[in-house]
A and B are shown apart, each in its own frame.
Chain A
Amino acid sequence: MLSGKRWLPAAAYTIMIAVLVGLAAAGCGPKGENQQAAKEIVVYAAASTTEVIEEVGKVFTAQTGVKVGFEFGSSGFLARKIESGAPTDVFISADERWIKYADEKNLLDHDHLILFARSSLVCIVPAGSQNTPASPQELAGLERISVGDPAHVPAGKYANEALSYYNLWDSLLGQGKIVLTMDVRAAMSYVEQGVVQAGIVYSTDASLSDKVKVAFTFSDESHSPITYHAGIVSRTANKAEAIEFINFLGSEKFHQLIVSRGFKTP
């Protein structure tokens, strides 16, 4: 069967498959050795907390020597990843909904849940915009408004509540004016790029970019309270370090930090 030069393709395929299997085997399996060398905790946090939590991470590492790895994204998506077994130690949600979801699924340690900050919801427009709505009702005059996907982005859920409060959600959605994004920072990015005329994000996000300006703030009564919660993932291998991290989020030093960034203390 394998006569003449016919063995060449067969050999090539065999070598290729062997290499692929070898790579896959090398990729699988526990990290083992690395974890003994330097302790590291992983924090899954809401996208809107990117800057403050990275700051906390730096301080935490300086004080304890424990390194901190981050993943930032929509709180709902992070909860889902934790549910699927993602290797993480701390979960920070911009919504009580996702902390509760994780807690009910026994993914979090009941004893170490903390509400550590509050915020407010604003409508932003591109910095150079000539068409700035002064109130929610004036949003109807725009073409496209970016909002996080309410199904998993807390900012999107708050935006949905606020627009529904003013009886605007259904009509804006029906007219095709709503653009759903995968997290709140994507909603802001669209406004920065000018592909939408307005977006709904947190006041703390808006203050980070000079390419957007705040058009108006949604009144607190138009949406449920924007609360930031943190919890320890129950299957963490770094419980003590995670507890230290969470405790820092309740400290006076942290309160000063978040206030300086525009958040409100709990």
Chain B
Amino acid sequence: MQNQEISAILLSLLMGVCAVILTIVPGVALAWLLSRRKFPGKTLVETVVFLPLVIPPVVTGYFLIKVFSQQKLLGSLLAELGIRVIFSWTGMAIAAAVMGLPLLVRTVRSAFDNVNPKLEAAARTLGCSPLRTFFAVTLPLSWPGIVAGSVLCFARALGDFGATAMVSAGTEGNRTISLEIFHHYQSPGHEAEVLRLAAISLILSALALIASEMLAASSKTARFGERQGG
């Protein structure tokens, strides 16, 4: 295996980790809001959060380029601070995070939905503040779901192509596994690289999915205390 393939694998893993780090707090907060609260504009928020799940990833990438363009306000402000978004790891991490956020929010919201609100109410009657209730009751009970959501977010970020491709510089060291595969696929005579990376990508994604499913299943037992059916 060549150096560029190894750097592609490492970059993909890094993007996956960055996606989780960037989305975990806002994602959990959003999931809690959507699960526990009704408010005007809730449907709009839901739509915007879940949009990257359904629109073509290249469209997401295109929006990111327009938002962070150095000719516009945000991009030029960041440029003053020395932060380059487009064609840098920063941009790729943001793209990965945007693609992974909906999956995190969906899974964590489902986990919160599975936490019996009566338990939270009981905690409140015993004197816990809403914040303490969240950390003492809600969070521990939904923990497997949060981890499952993070793993899904990680896997989605790991495997992203469209959005990442738009903001990647395309050079060695700036290609994730998907981009590396596409680079080798376009270059005649690079079959071996394509096969190797495709296999690795499959294995990594499968592992992530299995982990996520196992954790999601164990979060359902949190509500009932024991498995149902038989």
A residues apposed to B, CB below 8 Å = 74, 76-77, 79-80, 83, 98, 101, 143-144, 149, 151-152, 173, 176, 178-182, 193-196
Contact = CB atoms under 8 A, between A and B. Distances in A.
- Secondary structure of the A side of the interface? mixed
Contacts of A194: 69-71
Give the interface SS of chain B, mostly helix, strand, loop or mixed.
Answer: loop
Contacts of A79: 188
Interface in B160-190: 169-171, 174, 183, 185-190
A149 B69 contact: no
Contact of B171 (A76, A152, A178): A178
A178 B170 CA distance: 8
Contact of B169 (A152, A178, A193): A178
Which size class do B's interface residues fall under? 10 to 19
A151 B183 contact: yes
A79 B185 CA distance: 11
Interface of B: 65, 69-71, 84, 86-88, 169-171, 174, 183, 185-190
Nearest to A126: B71
B173 to A, nearest CB: 8
B8 to A, nearest CB: 14
A68 to B, nearest CB: 24
B186 A74 contact: yes
B186 A76 contact: yes
A152 B187 contact: yes
Given A76-B186, A180-B170, A182-B186, 13 more contacts: A79-B188, A80-B185, A80-B186, A101-B189, A144-B87, A144-B169, A152-B188, A178-B169, A180-B169, A182-B170, A194-B69, A195-B65, A195-B86
A112 to B, nearest CB: 21
Nearest to B185: A80
Contacts of A144: 87, 169
Contacts of A193: 65
A151 B65 contact: no
Contacts of B171: 173, 176, 178-180
